[in-house]
Amino acid sequence: MGKSIMSDTLPGRAARRFNIAFAAWCLCFLVAGAAGLATLAATNRLPAPPITATNCIDEKFKFLHETTIREPSLIAVGSSVTWRNLDFSIFEQRYGKAVQPLNAAPCFLHVDQTAFLTDFLLDGMPSVKTVLSVFSMRDFQSCPAGGGAFFKPEDARDYVFGGSDAWHLYFKNFRPNAFLRDVVNLAEMRSGELIDAPLVMDRYGSGPLKLPEGDIRDNVSVDPACMTHLRAMSDMLARRGIEFVVVLFPPMPSWIEAYDPGGARDAAFRADVSRHLNLLNTVLIDTTKGLNLKDSDFTDHAHLQWSSVPILTEHVISQMDSTERGFAAGDKNHAL
């Protein structure tokens, strides 16, 4: 009988020892991980909480978490074409406090992903009356089936809108290769020392780009599915009663010369965008009308040198002011 009792209790003791050891290892891992994160934070090399594990997107979520602009009336949403090509300090000079702008655009997004991000942001920003997007042909390159969901809203919601520090995301969404790469490069990207991929943001969230010379880069083409997503985004904003300002980025002369002699594809793209917008709530600003820029104004076919961004921003303001839907026209223009 004693032998039987011993054989019954040994597995139980072994199981308890295993559970204790496992819990101890987990605790050590968490403590060591927390200490490592704190050390990286102290040296400005801690990546933003990995909501997407793409540093320029996660850095934008970090900015939205930290910004004091909590009740914007206007948000800019899009890819880096929106992020890097708007100088909202000019809005302050022009409108004072009548317009509260916030550049919420990250990078690398196509139109379907821009629509997804916009819907997410508007759920947490009831003050928004206007959404502004700057689009180039590059934003319409690829919109595969799936709705453009590129992050989990439940991961970002409390961090962006609720004040949570989101430490748990470093463990939940840990991707070692992306994390280690960012640990090496982030400080220089945040300071702007890495000029090809700076993560510097001004107080509105815009990301200045300053390069010694421009590069036409690769050819791009339009995925027709992206136009469908543009229409869906425009309709979504109309249902919310929010004005949609669409700015079509100016063509870089040398890019047109290299990939679209005569500009037929560029013209067709612009016309197609116009056809897919809900005119009840949308103002379309095609910068080929009234804005002439040189190659020296561009870093590439989708971005302006920061010194030339005010030219585009002032053009957008003048075009809006020439309509009855100017940025500071008041709530009466948003009863759509």
In this prediction, residue 95 carries a pLDDT of 95
In this prediction, residue 237 carries a pLDDT of 98
Choice between 102 and 22, residue whose per-residue pLDDT is larger: 102
Which helix H or strand E contains 196, and what residues bound it? none
SS3 168: helix
pLDDT per position as a tens digit, 63-75:
999 999 999 999 9
Encoded amino acid at 72, one letter: P
Question: Backbone phi, then psi, for 253, in 5-degree steps?
Answer: -55, -45
Q: Which CATH architecture has domain 55-150+192-326?
A: 3-Layer(aba) Sandwich (3.40)
CA angle 156, 157, 159 (to 5 degrees): 65
In this prediction, residue 8 carries a pLDDT of 56
Percent of the chain with pLDDT over 70: 85
* Cα distance between residue 80 and residue 298, in whole Å: 14
Question: Backbone phi, then psi, for 217, in 5-degree steps?
Answer: 60, -155
Sequence ranges of the domains in the chain: 55-150+192-326
| Region 239-250 average pLDDT | 98
Choice between 24 and 172, residue whose per-residue pLDDT is larger: 172
| Region 52-62 average pLDDT | 96
Helix count and strand count (H, E) for the chain? 12, 7
DSSP string for 35-90: HHHHHHHHTT-PPPP-SSS-HHHHHHHHHHHH-S--S-SEEE-SSHHHHTS--THH
SS3 212: coil
In this prediction, residue 41 carries a pLDDT of 63
pLDDT per position as a tens digit, 257-304:
999 999 999 999 999 999 999 989 999 999 999 999 999 999 999 999
Percent of the chain with pLDDT over 90: 78
Encoded amino acid at 243, one letter: E
Confidence tier at 146 by pLDDT (50, 70, 90): confident
pLDDT of 231 > 50? The answer is: yes
In this prediction, residue 19 carries a pLDDT of 62
In this prediction, residue 29 carries a pLDDT of 47
